[in-house]
C-alpha cells in the first residue's frame, strides 16, 4: 500500500500540470500512454511491438489520439478515416504475404488499437471542452476505483465476478458507485454554476452512476484480458500498480461513453 500511494502521488504531481496545460503537452502524453498500453497488449499476446503489425498499430494509435487537424492539416478526412487507412494496410498484407498473414492476425492490432486509442482520444477531447469537465470525468473514475477498493476490503463478502477477478465484490461495486456519486455531487455543486455542464445536477448524478458502472466494467474487461493471457499485471511501469492499462482501464470505457452522451 505504501508503494501504491507513493507512486500515485508522484504520478499525480506529474500528470495534473500536463492536464492543466492541455494542448501539445497533453497530446504527446496521451499518445505516449496509448502506445505503452498498446505495447502491453502486444506483450501479453506474445507479439513484438517492433514488428509489421506493431508499427502499423502504433501509427494507427497516433492517428486516433492526435488531432488530425493539428498534426496533418493537409489531410481532408478525419481521424477515423486515417485510422482505416492503416486497417487497409493490415488487410492488404494478406495479398502481399500470399495469405501467410491472415485476417485473423490483422484483427488483434485493430481491436487493440481501438480499445486503447479511443479512451485517450477522448481524454484530449475532454480537456478541449474545459479543465472543469476533464477533472469531473477523472474524479468519477478515481472515486469509483478508490471507493470500490476501500469498501470492498472492509465490507466485501459476496464475489462479483470470481471467474474474472476473484478479489472484486458486490459490496465494493456498490461502494464505487456511491463514492462516485458523493464526489461528483460535491464537485458539480461547487463548479457547476457556469456553462461547463450541459446537464442539471440530478441528471449529472444519474449519469455519474452509469459512468461508475461502466468504469468498473472496464476494469473487469482488462482483468478478463489478463486472465486470458495468464498474466497478473499488464506491465510493471508503475510500481505497486502494474502497467498503464491497469491504471487507465476504467478510463478507456468511461471517456468514450461520456463523449457519446454529449458531456464533452
pLDDT (0 to 100) of residue 108: 96
144: pLDDT strictly greater than 90: yes
- Average pLDDT (26-44) is 96
- How confident is the model over 192-234, as pLDDT tens digits? 766 778 888 899 999 999 999 999 999 999 999 999 999 988 8
Residue 7 has pLDDT above 80, yes or no: no
Q: For residue 4, is pLDDT > 80? A: no
- pLDDT for residue 254: 96
Torsion of CA 132, 242, 234, 254, to 10 degrees: -20
Residue 1 has pLDDT above 60, yes or no: no
- Predicted confidence at residue 198, as pLDDT, reads 84
Specify the pLDDT at position 3: 59
Averaged pLDDT, 251-257 = 96
**Pair 226, 232: CB distance under 8 Å:** yes
Cell of 3: 508503494
Residue 109 CA to residue 116 CA, distance in Å, equals: 11
> How sure is the predictor about 241, in pLDDT bands with cuts at 50, 70 and 90?
low
What whole-number distance in Å separates Cα of residue 244 and Cα of residue 252? 11
Structure confidence at residue 239 (pLDDT): 66
DSSP H helices, the chain, are 2-21, 23-45, 52-65, 68-71, 79-96, 103-129, 131-155, 170-191, 201-229, 244-261
What mean pLDDT is reported for the chain?
91
Cell reading at 114? 481501438
pLDDT > 90 in the chain, percent: 77
pTM of the model: 0.89
* pLDDT band with cut points at 50, 70 and 90 for residue 237: confident
Domain positions in the chain: 2-261
Better-predicted residue by pLDDT, 246 or 4: 246
Grid coordinates representing 17 are 500540470
Q: Residue 181: its pLDDT value, please? A: 97
Least confident of 62-76, 113-127, 144-158, 233-247: 233-247
Q: What is the pLDDT of residues 73-87, one digit of tens each?
A: 998 889 999 999 999
Residue 23, pLDDT > 90, answer yes
Amino acid at each position: 500500500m505504501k508503494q501504491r500511494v507513493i507512486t500515485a502521488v508522484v504520478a499525480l504531481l506529474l500528470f495534473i500540470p500536463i492536464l492543466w496545460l492541455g494542448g501539445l503537452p497533453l497530446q504527446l502524453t496521451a499518445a505516449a500512454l496509448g502506445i505503452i498500453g498498446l505495447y502491453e497488449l502486444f506483450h501479453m499476446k506474445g507479439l513484438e511491438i517492433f514488428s509489421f503489425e506493431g508499427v502499423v498499430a502504433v501509427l494507427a494509435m497516433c492517428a486516433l489520439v492526435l488531432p488530425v487537424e493539428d498534426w496533418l492539416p493537409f489531410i481532408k478526412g478525419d481521424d477515423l478515416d486515417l485510422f482505416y487507412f492503416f486497417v487497409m494496410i493490415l488487410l492488404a498484407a494478406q495479398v502481399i504475404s500470399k495469405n501467410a498473414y491472415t485476417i485473423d492476425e490483422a484483427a488483434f492490432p485493430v481491436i487493440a488499437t481501438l480499445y486503447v486509442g479511443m479512451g485517450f482520444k477522448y481524454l484530449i477531447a475532454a480537456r478541449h471542452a474545459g479543465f472543469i469537465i476533464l477533472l469531473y470525468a477523472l474524479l468519477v473514475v478515481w472515486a469509483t476505483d478508490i471507493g470500490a477498493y476501500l469498501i470492498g476490503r472492509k465490507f466485501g463478502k459476496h464475489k462479483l465476478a470470481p471467474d474474472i477477478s476473484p478479489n472484486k465484490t458486490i459490496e465494493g461495486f456498490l461502494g464505487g458507485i456511491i463514492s462516485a456519486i458523493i464526489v461528483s455531487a460535491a464537485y458539480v455543486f461547487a463548479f457547476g454554476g457556469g456553462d461547463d455542464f450541459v446537464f442539471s445536477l440530478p441528471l449529472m448524478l444519474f449519469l455519474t452512476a452509469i459512468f461508475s458502472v461502466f468504469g468498473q466494467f472496464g476494469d473487469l474487461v482488462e482483468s478478463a484480458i489478463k486472465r486470458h493471457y495468464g498474466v497478473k499485471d499488464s506491465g510493471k511501469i508503475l510500481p505497486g500498480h502494474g502497467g498503464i492499462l491497469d491504471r487507465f482501464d476504467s478510463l478507456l470505457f468511461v471517456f468514450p461513453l461520456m463523449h457519446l452522451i454529449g458531456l464533452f
